[in-house]
Structure 1
Amino acid sequence: MIVLVLILTLTWMALQSSFTLPDLIVGLALSYGIVALASRFLSVPFVNGGLGRPRMDTRNYARLTFKWIAFIGFALWSVVKSNIDMARIVLFRRVADIRPGIIAIPLDVKSDAGITVLANLITLTPGTVSLDISTDRRTIYIHCIDVQDADAVRDDIKQNFERRVMELLP
């Protein structure tokens, strides 16, 4: 964890183009705050490091880091793929053939962070927009620009997006 704080501090100082003592102090304070907030948000598991000091379980931290990297790669690929699909719709389909619709998708993800990430991922992919979450947080309503089969869209979001979000933020 200290290595991450030092890397972020050096990055801060490089971005400031200043390597003075005040920039070092501000960089250390900001870096420590970012790492502390991120470790709580990501639910990084800690184990007892002896002498009453918590120590990070590096195996779980590394696994979680790789899962996040894979998730970001998946999200970027989904955006690219959706852009291609939207280009096909715009260029090669008649307006009369496009069937926009609102779909209700039951949610298995329970955490606020998980629901937020899922809703943002859906909105980031062109052709879909998250509209609302039910008050009981069990259903998300999305708008799709072209719904040929509502069940196929629902299954695609549940199997691809929600499943991957639940691996990180149940």
Structure 2
Amino acid sequence: MLVLNFVFALIWMALKEEFSFIDFIVGFGLGFAIIALSQKVLQDQIIRTSQLRSEDSYTSYPERTMKTFSLMVFMFWSIIKANIEVARLIISPRLNIQPGILAIPLDVQSEIGITLLSNLITLTPGTVSLDISHDRKTLYVHFMDIADPDAARREIKENFERRVMDLFP
């Protein structure tokens, strides 16, 4: 739906024949309103085509948009914190790190959810998603410094995976 909203914004700009940031914002706002008002009509088609959620767990477009922006803000903040931590580790006179690979059990089931989760982990400095088990139940992640494996696993599950599952179960 977010892509459709961007398309509406671009169509608005083309109809106005002005390609300014303000016209994009106005078009995006109008697209948002159109999608929010017509979501009940589109709901059945969205559920059938995406097959990511059942009818009982369908969330509205404004709610999904807020969750998407929340995930983006969380990732931006996580990347900043991880960059500072990695810089601190590298600059310290003693390189006192404990690298390791951690198996993280997954609750997320969709292909797009697993892909998004592993990419978000890899984007965060100091961690790299290595592999996923054949049954898609375990993600293997390399940590630059893993002093407390349980805390690292909890961080991934409670912060990253929970936010991804809000969008893609």
TM value normalised by structure 1: 0.70
- Give the aligned residue type for 2:40: V
3-state SS, counterpart of residue 60 of structure 2: helix
User: C-alpha distance in 1, partners of 2:5/2:160?
Assistant: 32
Q: Could you report, residue by residue, the CA deviation over 1:99-122 in whole angstroms, capped at 9, with x for unpaired residues?
A: 110000000000001101100000
Quote how far apart the aligned CAs of 1:7 are. 1.2
Task: Report what 1:114 is aligned to.
Answer: 113
Gaps of 5+ in 1: 16-34, 40-44
User: C-alpha distance in 2, partners of 1:138/1:84?
Assistant: 31
3-state SS, counterpart of residue 109 of structure 1: coil
User: C-alpha distance in 2, partners of 1:105/1:99?
Assistant: 18
Task: Report what 1:9 is aligned to.
Answer: 11
TM value normalised by structure 2: 0.70
User: C-alpha distance in 1, partners of 2:142/2:18?
Assistant: 43
Gaps of 5+ in 2: 20-30, 47-58
User: C-alpha distance in 2, partners of 1:105/1:3?
Assistant: 35
User: C-alpha distance in 2, partners of 1:137/1:144?
Assistant: 20
Q: Percent identity?
A: 49
Change in CA separation of 1:124 and 1:11 when aligned onto 2, cut-off 3 Å: farther
User: C-alpha distance in 1, partners of 2:69/2:103?
Assistant: 29
RMSD: 3.0
- Give the aligned residue type for 1:105: I
User: C-alpha distance in 1, partners of 2:69/2:122?
Assistant: 20
User: C-alpha distance in 2, partners of 1:3/1:121?
Assistant: 24
Quote how far apart the aligned CAs of 1:14 are. 6.3
> Could you tell which deviates more after superposition, 3-12 or 125-134?
3-12
- From 41, 54, 60, give the equivalent of 1:48: 41
User: C-alpha distance in 2, partners of 1:93/1:166?
Assistant: 40
Q: Could you report, residue by residue, the CA deviation over 1:110-161 in whole angstroms, capped at 9, with x for unpaired residues?
A: 0001101100000000000000010000000000001111111111111110
- Give the aligned residue type for 2:10: L
Quote how far apart the aligned CAs of 1:5 are. 3.3
Change in CA separation of 1:148 and 1:10 when aligned onto 2, cut-off 3 Å: same
Change in CA separation of 1:14 and 1:148 when aligned onto 2, cut-off 3 Å: farther
Task: Report what 1:79 is aligned to.
Answer: 79
User: C-alpha distance in 2, partners of 1:88/1:167?
Assistant: 32
Quote how far apart the aligned CAs of 1:90 are. 0.6
3-state SS, counterpart of residue 9 of structure 1: helix
- Give the aligned residue type for 1:118: L
